[in-house]
A and B are shown apart, each in its own frame.
Chain A
Amino acid sequence: MPKLLRQPAWLVLPAILLLVVALGYPLLQVVIRSFTDPEPGLGNYTWFFSRPVNMTVFWRTFEVAGWVTVLCLVLGYPYAWLMTAVGPNMRLLLILCVLVPFWVSGVVRTLAWVILLQDSGVINKVIMALGFEKVRLIRTQTGVIIGMTQVLLPFMIMPLYAVMRGIDLRLVQAARSLGARPVLAFLQVYLPLSLPGVFGGAVIVFILGLGFYITPALLGGPRATMLSTLAQQQVLQQLNWGKGGAMGVILLASTLVLLAIAARFTRRRYQISGGSK
């Protein structure tokens, strides 16, 4: 076999071709249309940023993704810790509880939330049975956040668990033996060591949250629209390819900027830890 044909790059070629055809070319189309439809120029972008409605949706998207990230962290951190602290059988059960919803279709899980959160749903029945006022959950931002947090929680727990599993617990014991109180030992030793997992999980959840479509579309109403839904409506309902495309480009750009910042942060962290050795 000639040397050129033995290059490993050939094995990657089919995948790259598929990506160019099904990802690169379509994305290029989105960008092109955002600048040319209906006429060449920045019209679609000035339209987007000049309309208060759009800006409300834009900031709401970030707000929702932020809340979901924080909630996932609060719920996922102790859970991931417990996964590292129990015996193998209990751990299997805990992992199963994370994996099962992970595998069950997102649409189906959102359906369950529609049933639970609807005005005559289980949660409201409980609230009313306790003697409180009926709360509006479906088609509200709160409902969207509740649903998204549940759907995205596995994406937070998995990276957290992966990092925590590698933390040497003897370090915490060492801190304790040196006189640190438990809270202090946690804050000064365990928490910093688990930060890569916190960071990784937070970035994944936030980015997935920004682009989330199903849950906001089904659980949120007009008052809880997110950027994805807005872009979809522009293209499918109003046939405004340019405006929808511009929203898509803005969403994509936000994601990439965020990733770039995240990459910078992780790199700097590594440099600090490398320098202190």
Chain B
Amino acid sequence: MNPKYEPLFTPFKIGDVEIPNRIVQCSMGGTTLFGWLEPSHFDLEGADFLLKRAKDGVGLVLPGMQVIRDTMGRKWLDSNRQMYRVLKPYMDEYHKTGSKLFIQLAGGFGRSMAVTPWMAALARNDLLNKLASPIVDVQYACASASATPNRWADNLTSRPFTVEEIQEMVWHFGATAKKLREAGIDGVEIHAVHEGYNLDQFAIANMNFRTDQYGGSLENRLRFATEIVQEIHKQAGDDFPVSLRYSVRSCTKGWRKGAMPGEEFEEFGRDMAESEKAVKILQDAGYAFLNCDNGTYDAWYWAHPPQYMPDNCNLADVEHIRQFIDIPVACAGRMDPVKAAEEIAAGRLDAVAIARQNLVDENWITKIKQGREDEIRPCIRCHNGCFNFSKAAGTENMQALGDSLHLARCALNPPTMQHNRYKIVPTKNPKKVAIVGGGVGGMESALVLKKRGHNPVIFEKEDKLGGLFLTASAMTFKENDKQLLKWYEDEIKRYGIEVRFNSEIKDVNELLKSFDEVIVATGSVPRNMPQIKGFEKTRSFRELLREKSVEGDKIVFLGGGQSSCEAAYDLVLAGKHPIIVEYGNDLVAAQATCLANTSFLRDAMEYHKVPVYLHSTITEIGDGYCVIKTPDDAFTQECDAVVNGVGFVPAPLGEKGAHIHRVGDCVAIGNLRTVVWRAWDVCMRI
């Protein structure tokens, strides 16, 4: 192992419990032991995933948040005796790894509940909500400290919890912790004075207007959180360690408005001065560990940083707050393990909390220990598979039902949290397979086929692998994407897969003469809109980002999707002045793109004063100008270039056949998840 990682592999203590190393697997919704948004049960998929993480060497595993009362079925978590009986032998097995496991118990979502359209309809109608309440009580699931607006649905306000409801919940936290301890669980983490979840809504003055013992002073606003830890100690024992998920600062400017890194703003949530006092109160109440980052659902990109956020984005704040308490502190949020090791060695941090890297590479810790860190598949922080709650102006949570039921899957690693569905089964009938196109779809197909025992050959028309992803990863802030491309290239070499560069295939049927199967992964081409006068003058993303042949300062994007916004942000960082023209009512209004990613881009455009014209289009493109038509006006905009951001269309080669398969964007335009999962879907059956 490279010595720079050594500080990560030293033990530390939470209360009386010794954690074997400094790596904490941060809780991720969906990686639960008792099911996600289902009637609670011992979840075999979650259990398999968590045990594998322990075997890889995570010191402390925190499974996904478990609401203290089931959202579906409304049973209290402590009421399912069968579940705890099954848990006991599982924990015996788990402890053989040496890793420790704390269950994350949650006080609910409150106004952050990611309501879908049907949930919003129930919540807005008292009668419908009452009728549905034996199965799901959405008003209860959204209840908060006070009547505050829902993060997701317009015209939906949380109802305040009654004092009796709060105290009922507090008692059940204690009862559940007792049962968990009896089943062999090492501790619990309370979720959360963090990220704008329910307990955080009690803690933040601008979200808590109560006049009873749970509102007003900071002590009162933290009372819910302090009563929970006291009740747990009362029922489960004083020596049962209780961690707290904690946001040092909210980084929030107002309802649904986050603050950019480096921005000067007036804090709407918890600022550092209040946080310095809060952590002392929480420590004195009995919390033994703070698992920290920043943000709220209104500033979601601090808690779930996309690629646009800087590495270690919460570290300085977490290290600052650590000086005010004596209990150990972990930091989460795009943490670089090398930086974390340095900080731990310097005594400024106790542990590093890492989440999504555990989804994308199930052996990343083993690879570090064996000095094979260059083989680690990087997380690109896309949230497409693990956390794709999405929202645009006027919508509720647009996430597909199948995704709501299965968080914490991985766009790049399909077997994660679906290990029975996606697996490498060696073939009994090895075949020669030609793959047309060396983009991500082609490379992933080749790797799956090779691992199964087939003999794939990639035909790539250019002189390098990557395809369309070479353009998508070209932006300055897309370091993780570039690492991913490098990882693919290395894997292709490591598995000895033949690649024929500069080989453009014109007829797929010709390939069938020397191959048993053909996979077409030829990607997509930019969509044309010839009805726009001068459309042929538009420039492509490839020209702008990869070839860098688009010159000038003022670049207009026709279309406000993710590609346009990312490219515009890249131009802003380079000191240029982009303009976005979008036909719809919001930027990046895509169903499968996480709100953490899209809200960053929307907030960034506003912060950097990028002109954005919604409900608008371009009617004419000329040399040095374009005509923008808004709902009220049409005007001529001077510009250096117009970039075609209206999307892509599939560009498959040839016809499909019994032995000719399609993978990637040439099937339908999607994202890396659709490309990679389709590659597995097809290549597992060949």
Q: Do A and B bind each other?
A: no
The residues of B with any CB-CB pair to A shorter than 8 Å are none
| A interface with B by C-beta (< 8 Å) | none
